[in-house]
Structure 1
Amino acid sequence: MTTHQPIRIGVLGTHSTGKTTLLKRIEMELRAEGITVGRTGRLGKRAAAAGLPKMQHHTARSTEWIITQGVADEIAAVAQGAEVVLLDRAAHDALAYFHAALEYRGESAARTERERLLTLATTQLPKYHMLLATVLDESVTVDSRHDYDPRYRRLVDHHVHQLLDRDDIPHLRVTSDPDSQAHIVDEAVRSCMTEALV
């Protein structure tokens, strides 16, 4: 595969809705086609390891760290020769988690701070060839090792789709239905292969 610009596919959605699993499936299919794939991820855990708050405790600072670290990871993947970069937590994902955390805590952020973070995330949109947004299905059992607050999980899902719809950001929704997931994997692989021929 030869292309001047690496293909970037981002995923966003609330926790435990299959984002990482979906990207792993896309990665396996692409590697089977001989495509070099880079994948970013674990940003929330890495933010916590750096001493930053996460989940319902997110702040503007932790949000900015996640967005900029995700961008840095993507650049590093491209520098290492990735033809396709799979972004586990596209920039708007961090915004949705931040807005959900504020609503959860009954707080608000200064308008200038909100606008600054939105601008930061929006600068990344032209780089994505495809954005995938998972949809929360509360009937799917969550791993018991995760002590997720169900209200916060719902708020993140709400803010993810509100941000995408409000700003009319092109994306594909991915439900928990196996057929939906298989279709999205096929679409992503087909898009990468088509882009490679351009």
Structure 2
Amino acid sequence: MNDGPELAVVRLGHRPGRDERMTSHVGLTARALGADRVILPDNAGQSKATVKDITERFGGPFSVELSDSQKALIREWEGRVVHLTMYGERVQDVEEGIRETHREEPLLVVVGGEKVPFGIYEHADWNVGVTNQPHSEVAGLAVFLDRLFCGRELEREWEDADQRVIPTETGKKVEPTDSE
């Protein structure tokens, strides 16, 4: 999906037992809406397994990995950093500049979990608010990626999928692909 340099999403913080679903949904949203990979905290092994399973069944390419130091990863990132926060600049005011930059440089999107250290705000090239109201980090990531890719991610074709969802007016329909 991503036609430019790499776009990775990093999830800051993970509280086992409390954040499993949210961390998994950050990874699944990153995958579904155009990122190349997601980096999760090293204690989020169950979430990694969930995202990996979905990628194997519904296609990729997409990678998921664990890291014991998201802060170091952000500091050492060779590209630009977008931190999604409700305290940032309005997405509609900065999306075009981010899109232009991403045509040339890798982009790391930082999604918080627990309280985000102030150093992340300082290191980010953009602190971006999808809205300045309390909301889910998954919702913020989804809106940001959709605006970044101008909706093109919704038409994506998936490689190496074992199954696919068939759009229907009502009900659920999943069928095997021809690649099996």
Q: TM exceeds 0.5?
A: no
Greater relative contact order, per chain length (Cα 8 Å cut-off, separation 6+)? 1
- Which structure shows the bigger proportion of residues in strand conformation? 2
TM-score where L is the length of structure 1: 0.36
TM-score where L is the length of structure 2: 0.38
- Which structure shows the bigger proportion of residues in helix conformation? 1
